[in-house]
Structure 1
Amino acid sequence: MKITRIINNNVICAVNARRQELMLLGSGIGFQKQKGDEVDESKIEKEFFLKSKNVTGKLYALLAQIPMEYVRVSDNIIQYAKATLGKELNENIYLTLTDHINFAVARYSQGLSFSNALLWEIKKFYLAEFRIALKALEIINEQFNIELPEDEAASIALHIVNAELGSEMEDTMKITQLIQKVLNLVRYQYKINFDEESLHYTRLVTHLKFFAYRLFSNSIIESNDVDFQDIIKAKYKEEYQCSLKIAELIRLEYQKELTEEELVYLTVHIKRVTAEDKSRDN
C-alpha cells in the first residue's frame, strides 16, 4: 500500500490494491514518512474504510488535532453497538462520537460538571441504546482513567440513535421531546399510567420514534387506502379524536400537518395501549 496523506505520526491515509483509500492507525506509522512511501504494514493497528468522502475529510481534520486513542475508543464503542443492535450505523457517527468523547474527557479534566436535560426521556425511550452507552462509559472511563457521569451515557445514546435514523442531533432531541409530549397528551386524555414494560407501550414508543423522524425529515406517510382509514375512524372514534389533538399540537408547535394515514396509525396504537390499561383495571 502507498501512503496518500499523513495526518500525524500515528494516522495516515493509503491506497490498497483495489484502489480504495483507507485510514490507517498505528503507533509511529506516519513517523518520518512522506506521500508515496510504502506503508509499514507491521505498524497497522486499525484500518478504516469509510464510503462517505465528506465524513472522511472531516474525520481527517479532527484526527489532526486529537490523539488516535479517541478514534480507537470510538471504534470499539461503534463495533459493540453494531453487534448489539444487529444493524449498520450511519458513518457520520465516527466523526460525531469521536468528537464528543474528546470534548467530554476535556470537560471532565477541567472539572466542569455536565447534566443532560433529556436523561430521563432517553433512558425510557431508547433503552437499548442507553444500555450500550453505559458500556461505552465503562470503555471510556477505563481508557482515560476518569469517571464520567450517567448523563454522558444519555448523550452517547443519542449519537447512536442519530446513526440508526440517519438524523442530526438537533432532530433527535426534537424527536425525543415530541415523544414525551404525545405520551403526556395521551396520558392526560385517558387519565392512565402506562405500563412501560408492556408490549403495546413499547410498540407505541417505537411508532412515535419513527413517526417523529418522518415528521422532521418531511417524509410523512401518504396513502390512498380510504376504505381502511374510514373503518378505523368509525371503529375507534375516541382514539381518533385523541389523534386529532396530537395533530393540533404538532400544527401549533411545529407548523406541520399530518396526513390521514399518519392519524390512522396513531389511532391504532393509541387504541392498543389504552385497551391494555383498561384490561389491567378489570
Structure 2
Amino acid sequence: MKIKKIFNNNVALTEDSNQTEMVVMGRGLAFQKKNGDEIDPVNIEKTFITPSKAFADKLSDLLDEIPYEMMELSKDIIEMANGDLQTELNDSLYLTLSDHIHFAVTRTKNGVPIKNALMWEVQKFYKAEYRAAFKALNMIKAETGVSMPEDEAASIALHLFNARQDGSGMEETMAMTNIVNDVTNIVKYHYGFDFNEESMNYSRFITHLRYFAYRILRGELNDDNNDGLYQQVKLQYPQADQCTKKVQAYLKKQYEMEMTTDELAYFIIHIQRVSNREKKKAFL
C-alpha cells in the first residue's frame, strides 16, 4: 500500500495493488514518510475507501483544523455505535462526526451551548441512536474533560441516524422524497403560501418529515397514543389540525397507514410552528 498524499503524520491517502484509493488512519503512520513510500499495515487503525476526489479534498481541509485526537475519539464512538445499533455506519460519518464534536467541544468550553430543536423527536422516535449518543457524551467527557449538554446527544444521534448504511439504496430514498414532497404540498396548498426554503423553520419541518417518512417505509412507527396531548393541541390549533387531517387521509390512502394520536399531535405542532412563522414573514 503506497502513499499518494500525506494529510498529516496520522492520516494519508494511499493506493493498493489494484489502484484502489483509500484513506488510512493511525498514530504516526506517515511520520517521516513521503509520497511513494509504503505504509506499514501494523500502524493502520482505520481504513476507508474514498468515494471521490471531493471527499479526499474535504478530509484534507478538515484535518487542517481538527486534532487527530478528535478523529480517534470519533472512531471509538462510531465503533461503539456500530455495535449498539447492529449496523455499519457510513464512512462519511468519520468526517461529519469529527467536525461536529470538535466544534461542539470548543463551543461548550467557550460557554456557547446550542439548543437542539429536534430534541423531543430524537428522544421519542430514535431511542437506540439517542442511547448510543448519550454514551458518546460520556466518552467525550472521559477524553476531553468537557461535560456536554444533553442537547448534544440529540445532535449526535441525528448524525448516527443519517449515517446508517443498511442497503436501503436509491429506491427508498426516492420513496422518502415523494412522501416529503407530497406532505409539503398538502401544507402549502392548505395555507396558500410558498415556503421560504432557505429558512430554518422550513429546514426543521423538512427534517421532521424525512424521519417520519423513513419510519413509514420501515414500519417503525410510534405505537404510543397520547390522547391528552392530541386533544389539547387540536383545540389550540384548529387550522393546523385540519391540515393534519389532510395529511392523515393521504397517508391512509397511499400507504394504508393509521397515524396514532401521538403522531397526529406532533404533526399539528410542527405544522402550526412552520405555518405561523411563514405567514408572519409573508405579511412583513
Partner of 1:217: none
> Does the C-alpha gap of structure 1 residues 92 and 187 become closer, same or farther in structure 2, counting only changes over 3 Å?
farther
**Corresponding letter in the other structure for 1:50:** I
Partner of 1:172: 207
SS in 1 for 2:156: helix
Measure how far apart 1:270 and its partner are: 4.3
Partner of 2:66: 66
Q: What 5-or-longer segments of structure 1 have no aligned partner?
A: 193-242, 252-256, 275-282
> Does the C-alpha gap of structure 1 residues 189 and 73 become closer, same or farther in structure 2, counting only changes over 3 Å?
closer
SS in 2 for 1:19: coil
Partner of 2:13: 13
Partner of 2:244: 246
SS in 2 for 1:49: strand
Partner of 1:47: 46
> Does the C-alpha gap of structure 1 residues 141 and 33 become closer, same or farther in structure 2, counting only changes over 3 Å?
same
> Does the C-alpha gap of structure 1 residues 185 and 88 become closer, same or farther in structure 2, counting only changes over 3 Å?
same
Structure-1 separation of matches of 2:15 and 2:77: 26
Using the size of structure 1 for normalisation, the TM-score is: 0.62
After TM superposition, the structure 1 stretch with the greater mean CA deviation from structure 2, 19-28 or 169-178, is 169-178
Check if 1:153 corresponds to 2:149.
no
Partner of 2:279: none
Using the size of structure 2 for normalisation, the TM-score is: 0.61
SS in 1 for 2:163: helix
8 Å CA contact 2:22, 2:50 repeated in 1: no
Partner of 2:101: 101
**Corresponding letter in the other structure for 1:106:** T
> Does the C-alpha gap of structure 1 residues 102 and 21 become closer, same or farther in structure 2, counting only changes over 3 Å?
same
The count of aligned residue pairs is: 212
8 Å CA contact 1:158, 1:172 repeated in 2: no
> Does the C-alpha gap of structure 1 residues 94 and 151 become closer, same or farther in structure 2, counting only changes over 3 Å?
same
SS in 1 for 2:49: coil
Structure-2 separation of matches of 1:68 and 1:247: 51
Check if 1:261 corresponds to 2:254.
yes
Measure how far apart 1:49 and its partner are: 1.5
Bigger-Rg structure (1/2): 1
Structure-2 separation of matches of 1:270 and 1:25: 46
> Does the C-alpha gap of structure 1 residues 71 and 189 become closer, same or farther in structure 2, counting only changes over 3 Å?
closer
Q: What 5-or-longer segments of structure 2 have no aligned partner?
A: 178-202, 216-221, 233-240, 265-284
Measure how far apart 1:175 and its partner are: 4.0
Measure how far apart 1:27 and its partner are: 2.9
> Does the C-alpha gap of structure 1 residues 50 and 112 become closer, same or farther in structure 2, counting only changes over 3 Å?
same
Structure-1 separation of matches of 2:118 and 2:212: 8
**Corresponding letter in the other structure for 1:261:** Q
The 5 A counterparts of 1:206-245 are none
